[in-house]
């Protein structure tokens, strides 16, 4: 990694976003910490580095996952969002300030990778759900190689993160959330694949799946 580049990223990231901070602490904080009795391993140590480019790789159980990760990890996390959301005036301003970036339905993977790489260069941690869509059991089931490819392309490290129980709070087809504890476990950094070859990407993707599901199996934090 380039120390000068990482130093610049750290300065950009530390500046942060006022709107991001307001949304995180005045909206997400009471929901996650109070209503969902949320806990995060990131609160008790330096598990989420702030001075290097990282890709947050997680399971995906509900629509609550992006704000939960952005708040609980102590570092702004940018996620891709449907382009249609950016046509709503007020919502567009808020989610854009919170690091979300639009991806058109059916857009090429190359365009999504380009925008995600740009977010990394701007100092954001970039979030990727390994399955790409919500899973009813809250686990990683059919992982895609997008996170590994982004890491191979950008040189960023991968950080496996497990969100426990969010699929129980707001499962598919349920209009009103169920209140139960939601905890966030953080794994160890994984270096980017050595190349963009399919075998290397699949090997890293399999490792991420294993690490995340192992953390889910450990259950709630004590």
Model confidence pTM above 0.85? no
Q: Which of 218, 213, 216, 178 is nearest to 37 (CA)?
A: 178
% of residues, the chain, pLDDT over 90: 41
139-178: pLDDT as tens digits = 999 999 999 999 999 999 999 999 999 999 988 777 778 8
pLDDT at residue 51 in the model: 84
pLDDT-based confidence at residue 9 (cuts at 50, 70, 90): very low
pLDDT at residue 88 in the model: 78
Residues in Cβ contact with 49 at an 8 Å cutoff, skipping those fewer than 6 apart: 189
Percent of the chain that is helix, strand, coil (3-state, to 5): 45, 15, 40
53-86: pLDDT as tens digits = 999 999 999 888 888 888 888 888 888 777 777 7
Please state, rounded to an integer, the average pLDDT across all residues of the chain. Answer: 84
pLDDT at residue 153 in the model: 93
Of 108-112, 144-148, 169-173, 211-215, least confident by mean pLDDT is: 108-112
Both tokens assigned to 115: 């925008």
> Would you identify the CATH topology of the domain 3-207?
Glycerol-3-phosphate (1)-acyltransferase (3.40.1130)
* Span 14-41, average pLDDT: 74
């Amino acid at each position: 990694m380039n120390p000068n580049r990482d130093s610049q990223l750290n300065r950009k990231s530390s500046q942060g976003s006022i709107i991001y901070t307001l949304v995180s602490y005045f909206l997400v904080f009471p929901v996650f910490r109070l209503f969902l009795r949320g806990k995060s391993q990131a609160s008790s140590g330096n598990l989420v580095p702030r001075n290097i480019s990282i890709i947050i790789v997680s399971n995906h159980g509900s629509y609550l996952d992006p704000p939960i990760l952005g708040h609980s990890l102590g570092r702004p996390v940018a996620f891709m969002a449907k382009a249609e959301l950016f046509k709503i005036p007020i919502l567009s301003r808020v989610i854009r300030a919170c690091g979300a970036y639009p991806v058109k339905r059916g857009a090429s993977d190359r365009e999504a990778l380009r925008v995600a790489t740009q977010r990394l260069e701007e100092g954001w941690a970039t979030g990727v759900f390994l399955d790409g869509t919500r899973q009813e059991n809250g686990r990683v089931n059919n992982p895609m190689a997008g996170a590994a490819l982004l890491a191979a392309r950008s040189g960023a490290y991968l950080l496996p993160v497990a969100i426990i129980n969010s699929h129980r709070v707001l499962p598919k087809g349920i209009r009103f959330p169920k209140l139960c504890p939601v905890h966030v476990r953080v794994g160890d950094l994984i270096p980017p694949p050595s190349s963009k070859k399919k075998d290397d990407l699949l090997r890293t993707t399999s490792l991420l799946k294993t690490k995340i599901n192992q953390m889910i199996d450990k259950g709630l934090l004590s």
